[in-house]
Structure 1
Amino acid sequence: MGGALVFWVGVLICGLCAGALFTFKGMSDPTLWRTCTILTLSCCYLMWAITYLAQLHPVIVPKRDDLRIDL
């Protein structure tokens, strides 16, 4: 798993957002439901992608405390 996973999940989310454009036809306010669905999918994807990439390539490298000290 690497950076390509973020791309493929992004393609999946784009597909779901495109699918949301053609749903919610029989509801009372389809524009509101469509907008909420697309914004929810986009925000959840961005939060996941930023968190995943931050753990994949950390800015600050963690330091280990349990390393052996050479005397």
Structure 2
Amino acid sequence: MGGASVFWIGVVVVGLCVGSLFTFKSKTDPTLWRTCTILTLMCCYLMWGLTYLAQLHPIIVPKRDDLRVEF
């Protein structure tokens, strides 16, 4: 799994956002429900994507202190 999984999951999230446009038609306030759903999906996707990519390519490479110096 690499950076391509962020793209494919992004496509799924966009599909869910488009699906939510057609889901909330008979509720009491459909605009509010659509906005909350799309905003929630996009915020969760951005948080997941940034965390995943930060762990995939870290800025600072961790160093182990418990290794013995070899002669």
User: Quick one: percent identity of the two aligned structures?
Assistant: 76
Task: Report the Cα offset of residue 70 of structure 1.
Answer: 2.2
**Is 1:70–2:47 an aligned residue pair?**
no
Q: How many angstroms apart in 2 are the aligned matches of 1:64 and 1:31?
A: 52
Gaps spanning 5+ residues in structure 1: where?
A: none
Q: How many residues align?
A: 71
When the two chains are superposed, the root-mean-square deviation of aligned CA atoms in Å is 0.8
The normalised TM-score by structure 2 is 0.95
Q: How many angstroms apart in 2 are the aligned matches of 1:60 and 1:17?
A: 35
Gaps spanning 5+ residues in structure 2: where?
A: none
Aligned to 2:21: 21
Moved >4 Å (runs of 4+): none
The normalised TM-score by structure 1 is 0.95
